[in-house]
Chain A
Amino acid sequence: MQQIVELNLLQFSIVYLLLLIVLFIMKKAKIDQVKLLFVASLRMSVQLALAGLVLTYIFQNPHPLFTVSYVLVMIAFAIHRVLSKNKELNKKFKQAIALSLAISGLLIIMFFVAVIVGQSVFNPQYVIPLSGMIMGNAMTGVGLGIKTFRESTRVEQHRIDSLLNLGARPKKILLPFVNRALETALLPTLNSMVGMGIVALPGMMTGQILSGTLPMTAILYQIAIMIAICTVVCLSVFGSLYLGYKTLYNERDQINLT
């Protein structure tokens, strides 16, 4: 095993030439997303460069406050992303989502770093990258869960109205939608666990191997992070939906889905 080869900046910049292939195919196929391709590449480069600079600074000057701030910003961003796609939700539902993402995220991050890795919860080298993976997956999961819940209740509005008119309890009417959305949100994570190691080597493991970590150590990390991700997705989606659906009806048992 050898340590990772440092990329020479000039050599590195050649990789952008690959985008010409994408550009060429997009032109040929008349895909009108050239602007997006440029914006996306540019944003990615700038954002990652900034993250690199910030991380370099934090690693060189480790301070609990930096680590905590970085994680909080990540959590805030995850919450913002989910809520910005669901602007019509009522305020309490949004609070439920924010609370669920924050609490389940923090819980799993702390458990992973302190108990599994055995490092300080303020160690930026472990906390920051692991938090990124955990919060990123929680965000996607909650986004998918909420989307599924809202779409299915919209499609089945007549079923909800009919049951309510006949005197069924809102809880009993809405819970099947909640459970189905939770299932839908969990499936991608479960499916990726099924294919892991056969179809592709997952990102974190690849990164660790590239940087010289022994494969057996890398797989232990990978297994641990997958279980952590599965748990955080389950917890955050469960929390968001179970706290959230209760905000959709009032004390007169009237349902208002928006």
Chain B
Amino acid sequence: MHILSLRNAVYRSVTVFPSIDIEYNSVTFVTGPSGSGKSTLLRLFNGTLSPSQGQVFYCGKDIEQIDAIALRRQVLLAGQQVYLFSGSIEENFNMYYEYLGLDKPKPKAIEEYLAICQGPFASEALCDTMSGGERQRVYLAICLSFMPKVLMLDEPTSALDEQTARDVIKNIRTHCKKNEITLLVVSHDKEIVKLYADHVIELKGEEHATNC
């Protein structure tokens, strides 16, 4: 069963995606040179961009027919740019939850999600003074904690060292498989792709995309 599909989508008449299908509860990696439309693809899937031509489907339904906010909460995108508010890890969780109109997460839950993302930090730790890699893991933990149906990660390990990157992806993969979350990851790390991908979508720029 395909949870996400895209048919002949064109974005701003430059980026063309012929046909892409994402299988339910699979781990799919998106690779390709910069400018080939990897981030655009993820944004088309969660509706923060609309294709100028073509269609995008979620669970078989054209996403234009689905409430945009509801869609984004189910097809959640952790963007390339980490954004954390000024304050502690816990305050960041609370802030994001408040923005989404949700109750504060339990400290135990925060701890669990941090652990999945290889973040053995105290929840009172201040994000302002953390390193880029630490901030990236906190950000991933926040995104993961929303428990979407599809989790899309845009270069989630760009600020991490090789080993940590692998551990983080491995843990997230296990977590997603267990909770029936479909995982879609943009990554440049060939090793990680080889180790953890069920499927690979290779974007080649202007014209083609192939589903392998």
Contact = CB atoms under 8 A, between A and B. Distances in A.
A159 interface: yes
Interface stretch (A53-61, A127-135, A162-170, A204-212): A162-170
A165 B71 CA distance: 10
Contacts of B85: 159
Contact of B76 (A167, A252, A253, A254): A167
Given A162-B83, A252-B50, A168 B100 contact: yes
Interface in B42-85: 46-50, 64, 68-73, 76-79, 81-83, 85
A161 interface: yes
Contact of B96 (A161, A166, A254): A166
Nearest to A253: B68
A173 to B, nearest CB: 7
A252 B49 CA distance: 9
B99 A173 contact: yes
Interface in A160-204: 161-169, 172-173
Contact of A165 (B70, B79, B101): B79
A169 B69 contact: yes
B143 interface: yes
A165 B78 contact: yes
Interface in A228-258: 252-254
A35 interface: no
A87 interface: no
Interface in A124-169: 158-159, 161-169
B49 A167 contact: no
> Could you say which interface size class chain B belongs to?
20 to 34
Contact of B64 (A158, A168, A252): A252
B146 interface: yes
B81 A162 contact: yes
Interface in B105-137: none
Interface residues of A, number: 16
Contacts of A161: 48, 79, 81, 83
Please classify the interface of chain A as helix (H, G, I), strand (E, B), loop, or mixed, using the class held by over half of its residues: helix
Contact of A158 (B77, B83, B146): B83
Contacts of B81: 158, 161-162
B77 A165 contact: yes
Contacts of A254: 47-50, 68
Contacts of B76: 165-167
A46 B187 CA distance: 65
A172 B99 CA distance: 7
Interface of B: 46-50, 64, 68-73, 76-79, 81-83, 85, 96, 99-101, 143, 146
25 contacts: A158-B79, A159-B85, A161-B48, A162-B79, A162-B82, A162-B83, A165-B46, A165-B48, A165-B76, A165-B79, A166-B72, A166-B73, A166-B76, A166-B77, A166-B100, A166-B143, A167-B71, A167-B100, A167-B146, A168-B69, A168-B99, A173-B99, A253-B68, A254-B50, A254-B68
Interface of A: 158-159, 161-169, 172-173, 252-254
